[in-house]
Amino acid sequence: MEGRFKLIFLIAVLFMTGLPLLGIWRGTDSPPTLPEHDPQSLPSSSLERSIGIESQSPGMDEKMVQIPAGEFILGSDQGGFNEKPRHATYLETYWIDPYEVTNHRYMEFVEATGHRQPGPPSRYARKLEALRGPRQPIVYVSWQDADEYCRWKGKRLPTEKEWEKAIRGTDGRTWPWGEGLKGHQANFAGETDGFSLSAPVGSFPLDQSEFGVFDGAGNVMEWADDWYVEDLYRQDKTVSNVSDHPPSTYKTMRGSGYTSQGGDLRITNRSFMVPDFRDETIGFRCARSN
């Protein structure tokens, strides 16, 4: 009996000590969503090649659009509390990018300055490779990243009011094309518009304001310059620049992304997030004073 027990014990010991060797022989499975490269570990030149920076023709997204001085309708009485009240306000002349900043343009900035590369906080980023097209909008950038890019360009992030006027126009419409959500006017609400993720900038002709500014209703949400103030429109309807208000915890984002649905699709919708947040649905464009 004692001999049988020793034999069983010996077999168990051999089995347990053999498990590590079995694991080495079989290998390990890679996480299914791991991209081929971690963008934060790649040197700039490698990431540039991966998004095709050398193949992009310059020019199209460099020219800015002038927004003339005058009144426009800001806010909505049909939206959330932070969008009310709908009222007329005035802005001086300013300029704004007609397109969201692209991967190509942003990587020029990274290459020239050594600024950190765009990327998620975790190395296990879903869909990252599919978001790297040279004409797709840059994503996975924080408010600080966007602010530094615009300053490098001699520009700045647009204020909330500047963004809304440039996208909405002057007549108080709900979307750049007017009213109604039939058809595929913009890249939002999933894959029914033909794009499961972000689209190359300017892909939707109807998602264009009367000033010629594209992708305000869809593609990616965009950082604005302002600190978020929930009841801003109720506090002071005459302030021409909402950045004049004291800071809060959050920065404001405007516009919809390719996953947005329902009430988030209104041009007047005001979103907000901590300024160091980075996500695949958030990008930006730049503006400058006249």
DSSP code per residue over the chain? -HHHHHHHHHHHHHHHHHHHHHHHHH--PPPTT--SS-TTTS-HHHHHHHTTGGGPPSSTTTS-EEE-SEEEEE--SSS-GGGPSPEEEEE--EEE-SSPPBHHHHHHHHHHH-PPPP--SSS--TT-GGG--TTSBP-S--HHHHHHHHHHTT-BPPPHHHHHHHHH-SS--SBTTBS---S--SS-SSSTTS-SS---TT--TTSB-TTS-B-SSSSSEEEEEEEP-TTHHHH-SS-S-GGGSPP-S-EEEES--TT--GGGGSTT-EEEE-TT---TTEE---EEE-
What pLDDT, on the 0 to 100 scale, is given for residue 35? 32
Query: Residue range 165-191: average pLDDT?
Result: 88
Reported as a pLDDT band with limits 50, 70 and 90, residue 181 is confident
Phi and psi at residue 68, to the nearest 5°: -70, 155
What pLDDT, on the 0 to 100 scale, is given for residue 114? 98
What pLDDT, on the 0 to 100 scale, is given for residue 6? 53
Q: How far apart (Å, rounded) are the C-alpha atoms in residues 146 and 87?
A: 29
Instruction: From the options 2.60.40.3080, 3.90.1580.10, 3.30.413.10, 1.10.645.10, give the CATH code of 33-289.
Output: 3.90.1580.10
**CA end-to-end span of the chain, whole Å?**
96
Q: Over 70: is that where the pLDDT of 22 sits?
A: no
Reported as a pLDDT band with limits 50, 70 and 90, residue 37 is very low
Which of 277, 218, 234 shows the shortest CA–CA distance to 252? 277
Q: Could you tell me the pTM of the whole model?
A: 0.77
Domain boundaries, the chain: 33-289
Reported as a pLDDT band with limits 50, 70 and 90, residue 129 is confident
From the number of C-beta atoms within 10 Å of its C-beta (0-12, 13-18, 19+), residue 2 rates as: exposed
Query: Residue range 48-75: average pLDDT?
Result: 68
CB atoms under 10 Å from CB of 237, counted, come to 13
Reported as a pLDDT band with limits 50, 70 and 90, residue 9 is low
pLDDT tens digits for 195-214?
Answer: 889 999 999 999 999 999 99
Record the tokens describing residue 204, joined without a space: 């939707």
Q: Are 219 and 187 in contact (CB under 8 A)?
A: yes
Sign for the pseudo-dihedral over CA of 114, 120, 124, 127:
negative
